[in-house]
Every structure is written in C-alpha cells, then in structure tokens.
Structure 1
Amino acid sequence: MSVLTIAMPKGRIFEEAAALLVKAGYEIPPDLDDSRKLIIDVPAENMRFILAKPMDVTTYVEHGVADVGIAGKDVMLEEERDVYEVLDLKISHCYLAVAGLPGTEMQDVAPKIATKYPGIASRYFREQGEQVEIVKLNGSIELAPMIGLSDRIVDIVSTGRTLKENGLVEFERIVDITSRLIVNPVSYRLKDEQIDELVDRLAQVVEEA
C-alpha cells in the first residue's frame, strides 16, 4: 500500500485535527507538532505529514504533493483551488467579519478595506453593490483603522477579544468558518480505498462529537 501524504497547518487546527485522527483510531505520535521537522513519517499508519502554513495547504493538495489536506474554509474561499472538499471536520470554529472603529462611516468614494483575504473581501463588497479599494496586509489587520490606513477591515473573528482590545467593533458577519478535509482529484482515483477509509473514520468521530 502506498503512503498517504497529508498536508496540515501548524497550530490550533493541527492540534484539533490530530486529536480527531487519534479518536478515529490512528496511531499518531503525540509530539507531532512539537517537532521542528516539516515532513514527518508515521510508518505505523503508512502516512506522511507535511506541516505547512495554513494558506499553503490547498496549494500542496492541488499540485498533488499532498494527497489530502486539512484547511480552513476561509483559505478555500480565498484561494479557490482545484480540490475536492469531502468532509466538514467541524473544528476551529470562527467566522469572517467586517469591523472598524465604532461610530465611523465609510468614505463615499472608494473606501479602503484592509484584509488578509482580498478575494473574499472584494466579492463580498461587490455583492453589496459597493466599490472599495482593497489594502492587502499579512498581519495585525486591527491596526489599519487605528492608524488611518483603512475605513474597515475584513478578518477572522473567533472570540471577538482582539477586536475589543483594539477598540474595534464588528459591523457585519460575512461567513462562518470551520476546517475541512480536502483531497487531490488524481489522488482520489489512485488511492481511493485509503482516502475513503480516512473519510469514513473521521466522519464517524465528527458525528459522535
């Protein structure tokens, strides 16, 4: 049987996904995420894990260097890669929202929106009939309205604490986000039995949760 390569992001999603795999009966080393290695082989399960940046997981799966991946719905909506979404793992719950300084109006002409998600933000405001200018940032999005860089931000909200601590308020909720199991279309044909077993075992755990 060939090795099944799984791309996973480090951090919170990894921890929750690894816990699901263990519950599904897979023998996953408990210190998998503590390693400095980026590729970890688990011979007992005929699996290989690639630890990646969250935004890169869908790219690895689309290009076939990983057969399977675990990615947030936010990344999938932003990247729009050619992959199959086969299971909602119902972990890492959060949502995308529009936020800004309280009591402020957006500029009438081309208001600026700061975000890590230019694709999602552009589509959302276009659907609202608003023409905006997107300012792409890679981190500390909350800073943008505070220093006058943008009228609003579009960012991930999990507890709302970060917004509150920075004196921002949520204006609109765009979409709920959870992590999904995704599959490379070619891998699904070549390794269908292994992938189907993984999906079935994880689905059972998700339903029981």
Structure 2
Amino acid sequence: MSRAGAVVVRRATPADAGAIATIHVDAWRHNYRGLIAETTLAGLDVAARAAAWRSQLDAGTVVFVGTHADIRTDTQADTRAGELLGWVSVGPFRQSESARPEVRSLTPGWAELYSFYVAPRAQRQGVGHALWQAALEWCLDQGYRDLGLWVLADNVPAIRFYQRCGLRDLGLDQDFTIDAQPLVEKLMARTLASPV
C-alpha cells in the first residue's frame, strides 16, 4: 500500500470487483460521451462487468485501486473513508495477431497499461496521478523498461494526462469497433528509466 498525498493506493482483491465495475461504467458514460454511441453507453451492465472483474482478479490480473480518506466535491464534503475512487490495470503488453507489424515488432518485453479510470466525481483530485505512480512502480519492480497503452484517438483529456505522465504518441493507430461503431485508438509509450 502506498500514499500519494491524501490518496491511498493498494492492490485490488476480488472483493473490489463491484466497485471497480461501477467506476468502469460511470467513467465510460462520463468520459466517452460524444465519442462512443449513447446506445452503447446506456447498455453497459455493472453486474456483468463485476463478474468479469471478479474472474480477472481471481486469475491474478494486476489492478491497483485508489481510495481517499476525505474528498471534497463541488457540492459536499465526502468522508466515506476507503471508498474506491479509481483503478488502473497493468501487465505485459498484449500481442495481437491483428496488430500492425510495426506494433508487434516494437512492443515485445513492454508493459501495457490496459485500462485506467477515475470516478467522475473524483477526477482532478490527484487520484489519477497516484494510480499512475503505483502502476509505474509496479512496472519498474517487474523489470520493464518501456510502457505502452492504447487510447481513443479523440479522447483529448486522456491524451493530455498521459502526455503529462511522459508518454508520447508513436504515430501508430489501429482501428476497432464497439457495437459496430468504427473507432481509432493510438499507441502512446514511454521509457521507464526516467520517473515522472
């Protein structure tokens, strides 16, 4: 467990699956409004996501969760100590057969930040930075020298956050679909030798 400011970060357990799923759905609906079809966002199912996360956590997927002892929102003081405010999942870079050859040749031995979400009400309060630091420390402890991630090409706030964390756009995009909606994501990466 580590502390970054008032944010406490720890490794997730299967008992966290429900809270992780709730943040996952809430963050998608908030962050991807206007980027992903409203019908897709409305159809997100917290119970199904919780079951999937429970299974992944049971299997050992690395997820760090952030909690806060006393957060202030625009409308009220919130003192629900220990409540999850965000999470990040990280592990070895996934090699897809459908990935561009440049990506497949570039990323062996890299770590990948699989997903990273902060509850909408807790954004811009240091939770994301604390989770980033935990993921970075884990990667370094595991001996990774490079970290990559895929981000929606139109998700400007996320791209700016990752740039502040030292990642750069590698100019490698890939197309994918969600519920038949064509989308583009870009590969961002950084060397882990220099902390941010």
Shorter-normalised TM range: under 0.3
TM-score, scaled to structure 2: 0.25
Highest CA radius of gyration, 1 or 2? 1
Q: Compute the TM-score of the two structures, normalised by the length of structure 1.
A: 0.24
Higher relative contact order, chain-length normalized (CA < 8 Å, sep 6+): 1
